[in-house]
Structure 1
């Protein structure tokens, strides 16, 4: 009884609320209530070969497997959560969603034997302005589940690129071509890598970075995005 009273008193002054809807009806170790978790549009692509994410890269880059955890939709919960991660400094939700992604990968036979996670890098000035790379935060959550290291210093973005949002496919590729460079080839040589970012649309940025990684001897590559905005 005393423990129950103490919990209620703490909750009164320091409420634990859902980051999706603001409800206080959620578990202590969760950032989203059950209703919001249920509202997240999972793809289940991790379980299926030749899924829509893999088809994006057919003929463009050789991949072992690819996955996006959720479907992206404007004005939907997933967009609001990604916005919190990228622009509101909410790294906690990024780790949480990364852990959910990690569980999907863990339950799939298609993402076994991964050696390391590679967050898709931001241009240094952009990362300094934001304070962190959202892809690294997502990787931290995935790493918590898969227990594999995050290598966030082996590849760098060497060219500033304009936002991809309003560009068509060809413009997106031209915008990111030759943007990446491997800084530590020995750290990834012969390894099975998982390249991670928040959203995949045309795949141009993943392709540019992935092809750079695949120039290193005996690298195998898979791709994971938190959300799929491909049309």
Structure 2
């Protein structure tokens, strides 16, 4: 009788060191990968990718020329999504962003709004913050989208020129001033009708996304759409 030694060892380790759900912290059961069935059922998925007139798009109207915009989840204080974002950003679990990026990419493939995309570009971290954290969670989110949608990920197309102070605690105006003109682009040749999907982990005021979109448009003359893992309420 054949057996898989790796699966047996994995089950043995799980008994003594159970994996936790990234959203609620409960022990994951057999075949639950990163989140438990209950959390997956109760997560506030937005379905923003199915229509243009959604809250994420409205938040960006008049600030930059955005073709389409969507967010996968709604983020509220003390919620499952807040714990998920914390795990991704501060607990060294960027693979969660890639996992959810892949899931969202499968949904975007079914939408008539996100067709003809040329590349996926993540909002970059400044080099100093990247060294400190060790990874860019937005890049991982973009990788998941890229795998699902079969669209190339351009990790280094958009560059952050200077480090900025944290956006936490700043009002809306201060957030926009803090990230004004902080991005530049590599000068590459793009098709005349190039359409870039700009991605980030969380949309709050939209200041960072707007600055990134303007940087891409001014440097490359491309169309820009937006996708984020979550939108803060």
C-alpha spacing 1:117/1:216, structure 2 compared with 1 (3 Å): same
Unaligned runs of 5+ residues in structure 2 are: none
1:12 and 2:16 correspond: no
TM-score by length of 2: 0.90
Give distance in 2, aligned partners of 1:39 and 1:14. Answer: 25
Matched residue, 1:25: 29
How far 1:33 moved relative to its partner? 1.9
Query: Which segment is superposed worse, 12-21 or 107-116?
Result: 12-21
Pairing partner for 1:193 from 193, 196, 203: 196
Contact map agreement 1:188 1:216 (CA 8 A) in 2: no
**CA offsets per residue over residues 81-111 of structure 1, 9 Å max, x none?**
1111111111221111111221221121101
Matched residue, 1:46: 49
C-alpha spacing 1:9/1:46, structure 2 compared with 1 (3 Å): same
Give distance in 1, aligned partners of 2:177 and 2:183. Answer: 13
TM-score by length of 1: 0.91
How far 1:5 moved relative to its partner? 9.8
- SS across alignment from 1:226: strand
Give distance in 2, aligned partners of 1:152 and 1:217. Answer: 16
1:120 and 2:153 correspond: no
Contact map agreement 2:122 2:142 (CA 8 A) in 1: yes
How far 1:184 moved relative to its partner? 2.8
Matches within 5 A, 1:111-190: 111-186=114-189, 190=193
- SS across alignment from 2:219: coil
Alignment: residue pair count? 229
Matched residue, 1:204: 207
**CA offsets per residue over residues 131-174 of structure 1, 9 Å max, x none?**
11110011011111001111011111112111112111111111
RMSD over aligned Cα, in angstroms?
2.1
Give distance in 1, aligned partners of 2:75 and 2:95. Answer: 20
How far 1:75 moved relative to its partner? 1.7
